[in-house]
Amino acid sequence: MTNAAILVASSLLLGAYLLDIVGRRFKLPSVVLLIVSGMIARQVLDRLGLHLGHVGAVVPIIGTLGLILIVFEGALDLEVSRERLAVIARAVLSSIGGFVACTIAFAALFHWTLGFTPYLAALAAVPFAVISSAVAIPSATGLPAQAREFVIYESSFADIVGVLVFTALLSSQGDPAAFARDLFGGGAISVVVALAASVALYALVNKVDGHVRFLPLIAGLFCLYAIGKALHLSPLVFVLVAGLVIANPHLLDRWAPLEAMRAANDYERTVAEFKSLVAELTFATKSFFFLLLGYWTEVGLLAVPVAWAVAAACTGFVFASRRALLAALRVEHAAALTWIAPRGLITVLLFLAAAEAGGLEGFPFGALMLTVLATSTLVALAHHGQDDRREALAASAIDSAHAPLASHAVPAPPDGRPAA
């Protein structure tokens, strides 16, 4: 049994790595490749009479760990400065505006088409309204630096806002007063606790020594998330703030009591090594999650007509509303950013939590997977088209550069003799 588990885990990881190479080579969405591969593996193993047990219990755990690492990795890549405040402000407004618009639209859709009560409709709508940083951040690698920063900030804040609203909605049981209290009170407490915890993590990074250096930091990060979750706060705020503080030690320079914790001489090298480890762990957990999610998905649920109708409506509204919002905020590279609004890991995790709370039995689960697959695929297709246009423009520029040389060339005389 132990040997079989090791064989399966290592095979899944190697397969995920190969799929990542194939996706980058042919510009295919790795998330879709992983999910589809999981579905195919399920069909093959079922025919062979083999089954992976307890997948339904493992998927949320791996997904939560992956979400923590993805948001943390994205925060470590961000540089906070006065010059970037405009980008941060637009990203926050975009994440909140898009989330609110999609939540209202999807809640109305689920209420009128599926017959859900307003509370259950809103509970089911929130997961569909959140941009998945697990898919958005990797998808932004080919964009200009400012656009990539916008995606990291926007998707990270979208995850935080989505979790905060979902947690408050779930605990309020439909009571508006309780919802407002949990939402704003929990958010304020989360920020205060996040700042204190981030300073502690920053001090640890400065003091790490020996052959075991980064594992305690990652364990501390997971511990903070679990504590925040248990206290009904927004634990992703802890993760984002911790990453920003570690990546931007200058934010603490003006705090006199923290003068003793100023970055050591080799601080940048330590952070670079830490980021490399986080990237490796993020890839592993994200790959396991989407492969197991595909294996766990019942293929028959994707063929339900209602699921296709709901997914089509949600996907269409996501991109239409996003285009209008980015234009209203005058965000640079709006045409490219329009398509980076995927639903993925956070969508699945929140929906599973809503389904576990009860009341969503009539919801077509296939719509969830179809929306994830459709939005992720459109991200990849949009990038493919942009790459083709960039290559065409580059070729056109080269031709234009050579054109004047050709126009100044001395033509040969009619008889074919060399020109004088």
Q: Note if the pTM is more than 0.85.
A: no
Rounded Cα–Cα distance for residues 229 and 216 (Å):
20
Rounded Cα–Cα distance for residues 287 and 354 (Å):
24
Residue 234 contacts residue 167 (beta carbons within 8 Å): yes
Whether 368 has a pLDDT exceeding 70, the answer reads yes
**CA 153 to the chain's CA centroid:** 10
- pLDDT of 414 reads 47
Lowest-pLDDT range, 33-42, 61-70, 172-181, 383-392?
383-392
Lowest-pLDDT range, 37-41, 122-126, 231-235?
231-235
pLDDT tens track for 189-215: 888 888 888 777 777 777 766 677 788
Whether 420 has a pLDDT exceeding 50, the answer reads no
pLDDT tens track for 54-70: 777 888 888 888 888 88
The more confident residue out of 125 and 401 is 125
Nearest 10 degrees: Cα torsion 363, 368, 370, 376: 160
Whether 416 has a pLDDT exceeding 70, the answer reads no
CATH architecture of 7-393: Up-down Bundle (1.20)
Rounded Cα–Cα distance for residues 262 and 355 (Å):
46
Rounded Cα–Cα distance for residues 227 and 86 (Å):
33
Task: Grade residue 259 by pLDDT with cuts at 50, 70 and 90.
Answer: low
Q: Give the pLDDT mean for 361-388.
A: 81
- pLDDT of 308 reads 95
**201 token code pair:** 């993590």
Residue 286 contacts residue 342 (beta carbons within 8 Å): no
Lowest-pLDDT range, 47-51, 114-118, 263-267, 366-370?
263-267
**CA 50 to the chain's CA centroid:** 32
Could you state, in order of their start, the residue ranges of all structural domains in the chain?
Answer: 7-393
Task: Grade residue 320 by pLDDT with cuts at 50, 70 and 90.
Answer: very high
Please state at what angle helix 345-357 crosses helix 145-172, rounded to 10 degrees: 0
Residues 6+ apart with CB under 8 A from 8: 52
Instruction: List the one residue out of 67, 129, 141, 140 whose CA is nearest residue 104.
Output: 129
The angle subtended at Cα 165 by Cα 161 and Cα 169, nearest 5°, is 170
Q: Give the pLDDT mean for 230-243.
A: 80
Lowest-pLDDT range, 8-22, 57-71, 207-221, 386-400?
386-400
The residue whose two tokens read 């492969």 is: 291
Whether 258 has a pLDDT exceeding 90, the answer reads no
Residue 60, class by beta-carbon neighbours within 10 Å (0-12 exposed, 13-18 middle, 19+ buried)? Answer: middle
Q: Give the pLDDT mean for 298-302.
A: 87
- pLDDT of 231 reads 77
